[in-house]
Structure 1
Amino acid sequence: MPSPTPGRTVLYRLSDHDAQVINQRRNDYATSAKSTRTGFIAHVGNEAVEGAVYPAVVVRVWDHEPPAVNLAVHLDGNDTYWATSRLEGDDVGQWAWPEVK
């Protein structure tokens, strides 16, 4: 397997905590006053659920053993999720390399 490096695309599996944070941000936007200011970021998208898999870009690799990475997770909506210090694996809250077909 390749080593994770900044810019590589991997797959990230949301944990229950991740989903709660994402859904809370989206709910906060839906129930608050809508802003028309330039630069305001609305968090809008389909509900996030534990175990859902999304593409993510490696932003930083921490020099640990095993290596941990920070990820910009591309959600099913107009926002992203910042997943920090995540390990490779098949469990929720972990990332994996995409399958090669």
Structure 2
Amino acid sequence: MATPPTPTVGRTVLYRATEYDAEQINKRRKDAYTSGSYAEENGTIAHVGNQVTEGQVFPAVVVRVWEGGLLNLQVHLDGNDVFWATSRQEGEDVGTWHWPERV
């Protein structure tokens, strides 16, 4: 069995969204539609994308490695925005990251 890679800045992992993550992401996106900012052509970037639900898995780039294997991640969503997930541990539960399967 191969040794798992070491998390380092710039590596891509997979992140499983929590219910709270989904609520925050969906709120920002709803606010963009409610305010009309998604349609303005003034240089403002609104949060726009498909709805997020608990348990969905998204690719994420490691932006900081903490002691004990905790990572800060920029989670790439299905839309024009990202989600900053801080101090997340490795695992398979919601709110954790894991390595992509090798194919």
Distance 2:100 2:31 in 1: 32
TM-score of the pair, normalised by structure 2: 0.91
State the match for 1:42 in structure 2. 46
State the match for 1:10 in structure 2. 13
Q: CA deviation at 1:2?
A: 1.0
Runs of 4+ in 1 over 6 A off after TM superposition: none
**Higher fraction of helix:** 2
Distance 2:18 2:60 in 1: 14
Secondary structure at the aligned position of 2:93 is classed as coil
Distance 2:85 2:51 in 1: 17
Task: Provide structure 1 residue ranges, at least 5 long, that are not aligned to the other structure.
Answer: none
Distance 1:37 1:94 in 2: 37
Distance 1:41 1:81 in 2: 14
Aligned residues: 98
State the match for 2:61 in structure 1. 57
Aligned partner of 2:22 among 19, 22, 25: 19
Which amino acid in the other structure matches residue 37 of structure 1?
N
Residue 33 (1) aligns with residue 46 (2): no
Q: CA deviation at 1:87?
A: 0.3
TM-score of the pair, normalised by structure 1: 0.93
- Percent of aligned positions that are identical: 60
